[in-house]
Structure 1
């Protein structure tokens, strides 16, 4: 005769993370405004600036300049602007407070959000890259590995900054600050037109410009990405992920 006895225990942490990542991706995909920000705006920039002469770009390879910039802009849209606004309102609505009572730890939530962002970014970049190729962009696919490396660093940096803002500001203020930074980076980041040459110091001030230039070096010019860009994006990622982990609040 078998005897059944309850054996309550916490689920394996990897299962908890997997479920949280899936939920983050699902919720983001359902938000229409997030999709427009992450795909609509970069697509309009790609087609508008890439196929017309509405803006001045350096060199003769217009798509070779515009498309990598648009790919970098997409990473910022998803990892920073969308993540900051979403997390701010999740705190306001009490979602994070409830997650804080679950077995999901603070580092676990930060990891899940970053992993979900990276998953979404892969899909978005693939779609935009295919559109770019369809309209005439010819990237150097042999340099995809360094391009992917700087993209992971940029996404991590933007996610850390987004979670930091959402932790220290009210949701409405977070939305305003994230939108302002997005517009500022778009204007000064050399996405649709050439940005002022600030030298290596500029990469530490403008991560969007650094990421866009790195993608142009790898995918358009077939040259090595400067060490200063690697260092700048690594510094941004380390500083803001560390700050987010220390300042993150459940409520």
Structure 2
């Protein structure tokens, strides 16, 4: 073939792919990188599984007051909330901090993928990893004898979906805030420290009522609100509007702080 027809058939068409295709490609890459990273996998799956199994085994010996509920029925929703926090906050903060340090985000920001597309890709990857975590932990919980409350399935499902969505948004926004404002080494130290503190005393694994007088303050933390929202949905089949509003407030605050302080390099 030659002539004008051949020129039209094989002429180059420079330009970026459609935004949706670029975002999906970016999200697949982000998810693969997150799951291949040993530290990320430890935070995402291994630690929550250890906390769930160890907590159920030790609950009877410690004598924690769980309002008459079995330990596995209370701890499993809390560990599901812990898994969301570990990935949405700690993993996102550490990964983004080191991507800034090595100039990865700067290079991606100059590619055909727009910066809002980069963030959308990160969010989709994050949701994929969170979904995988929840599946693994639900299976572990069921093996341990967990019996989620299904008295009102629509309310239970709505409560879980809203808690996971708003919890992911709140902790991801806070993680990006930390990663965008601090150096990578400081982000690594602070993200791990906050994770440990919230896991131990943030009301995410155990009900805020077990912390005594401090529970009144802990319920306003994003960790306490996420834990209470998950327990309300899976233990009491109730949509905890107050906790969901607290999570929405933290998501808006984190987004505003990230928009004002995030540095791409």
| Both proteins in one fold, TM over 0.5 | yes
Check if 1:67 corresponds to 2:82.
no
Q: How does 1:199-238 map to 2 (within 5 A)?
A: 202-204=218-220, 206-225=221-240, 227-238=241-252
Gaps of 5+ in 1: none
Q: How does 1:173-212 map to 2 (within 5 A)?
A: 173-190=186-203, 191-192=205-206, 194-198=210-214, 202-204=218-220, 206-212=221-227
Q: How far apart are residue 201 of structure 1 and its match?
A: 5.3
Gaps of 5+ in 2: none
After superposition, what is the alpha-carbon deviation per residue over 1:6-26, rounded to whole angstroms, capped at 9, x for unaligned? 331221111111111111001
Q: Report the TM-score when normalising by structure 1.
A: 0.93
| C-alpha distance in 2 between matches for 1:15 and 1:247 | 29
Q: How far apart are residue 158 of structure 1 and its match?
A: 0.7
Closer, same or farther: CA 246–18 of 1 in aligned 2, 3 Å: farther
The secondary structure found in structure 2 opposite 1:68 is helix
Residues 158 and 237 of structure 1 are in contact (CA less than 8 Å); yes or no, is this contact kept in structure 2?
yes
Equivalenced residues, count: 249
Residues 173 and 255 of structure 2 are in contact (CA less than 8 Å); yes or no, is this contact kept in structure 1?
yes
Equivalent residue, structure 1, for 2:117: 108
Q: How far apart are residue 197 of structure 1 and its match?
A: 4.9
Residues 73 and 186 of structure 1 are in contact (CA less than 8 Å); yes or no, is this contact kept in structure 2?
yes
Q: Answer with 1 or 2: which has the greater Rg.
A: 2
Residues 165 and 174 of structure 1 are in contact (CA less than 8 Å); yes or no, is this contact kept in structure 2?
yes
Closer, same or farther: CA 49–186 of 1 in aligned 2, 3 Å: same
Check if 1:135 corresponds to 2:155.
no
